[in-house]
Structure formats: C-alpha cells, structure tokens
Amino acid sequence: MDAINNEVAQLKPAAQDQRPSRAEAEAAVRTLLAWAGDDPNREGLLETPARVTRAFGEWFSGYQGDAAKELSKTFSDVDGYDDMVMLRGIEVQSHCEHHMAPFIGKAHVAYLPTGKVVGLSKIARVVEIFAKRLQTQETLTAQIAKAISASVGAKGVAVFIDAEHQCMSTRGINHKDVGTITTRFTGEFKNNAELRERFLRLTNG
C-alpha cells in the first residue's frame, strides 16, 4: 500500500506557495505584448492581460486537480466482470511545455478490473486533469496509465493518444495535419499481445 501511495503522490503537482498574484501575472502579459512589438495601452489590448490570465486559469486548471481523489471511489457490485473496460475518443486539449503551444487530439484508455470498477466519468476526468498542465504528450500518456494503475489496482492499463501539435503546425517546420501517437501498456496489456492488439483494433472503431 505504501508503494501505491508513493506512486500516487508523485502524480500531484508541486506546492504552489510561490504562485504569483493575478496582478503580477497580468503585468507579465503586458510585458510580453510590448516585447512582441505592440502597445499594451492601446484600446484593443487594455483588457487582454486580464483575459489571458483568466484563460490560463482554464487551460491549466489541472494543477488544482487530484487524480488519486477522482479515482478513490470504486464499485464492487459488477457481477464478477473482469474483462476490458475502455473509454474511446476522450478529448485532449493540452499545452506543450516546450513552447506552451496547444496540442489537441483524442485519448483511448482501457483497464482490466480486479473485482472493482471506477466510474467512467472519473477516467475522463483524470485525462483532463493531466492534460490541463504543461508537459509533453509522452509524459501525459504515462501519467494517465500510472494514476489508473496505482489507484484502481488494475491488472493492466492501456493508453493511446493521437494529437496534433501546434508547435509543429504553426511555427518551426510548419507541417500541418501531422498526428503524434503515444502509447503506454502496463500489466496484462504489456504481457499479452492478443489483448494489446484487441485494444488497438478498438481504438480504430
């Protein structure tokens, strides 16, 4: 149990004792506007710092979320069900930690229960909690699998994410419509090729 608790603890965001005030955040936006070459005091930009700060509050609300808490309530009255439970097509809206540019796509998540299941909406909520933080898609994929495995005690977890990164499509090499696919398999999904292939077939409908 201590090992599981340690795994879950690692998934929580760092303490935010040094979090800047809203006024400081808005001042930082004004600085960026001026650095970009515009006048933060012109009429069209006067309210922009406040709007950007509010938007950041939405985009990065995952730092206030707790995946372990979301997954803490389980249901054991499932008549012995022990086959795959899968959510397909969970919307992913995240931001890359390298450029803070959005990456948007879909996540497919499955697990093999061990006598208990978790509410379906909780799995989607866990995806959202980790997506609404700064990280890479690889990290996001691993965090989702780790949270479900540690909290639910599943026999195996599978995560598949397909997303388009705007740091690639709107800057740099400017390649559009390039999908990035990441996967993470644990337990039975990692050890059982037939089960893994079944999951991958289901991700394609």
Write out the catalytic residue numbers. Answer: 96-99, 137, 165, 167
The CB density around residue 100, as the number of other CB atoms within 10 Å, is 12
What one-letter code names the amino acid at 196?
R
151 touches 74 (CB < 8 A): no
Q: Is beta strand 85-96 parallel, antiparallel or unpaired with respect to 134-135?
A: parallel
- Backbone torsion region of residue 44, taken as left when φ is above 0, otherwise alpha when ψ lies between -120 and 50, otherwise beta: alpha
If DSSP codes are grouped into helix, strand and coil, which group holds residue 156?
Answer: strand
Residue partners of 37: CB distance under 8 A and separation at least 6:
none
179 touches 136 (CB < 8 A): no
The CB density around residue 50, as the number of other CB atoms within 10 Å, is 13
Q: Is beta strand 117-118 parallel, antiparallel or unpaired with respect to 74-75?
A: antiparallel
The CB density around residue 110, as the number of other CB atoms within 10 Å, is 24
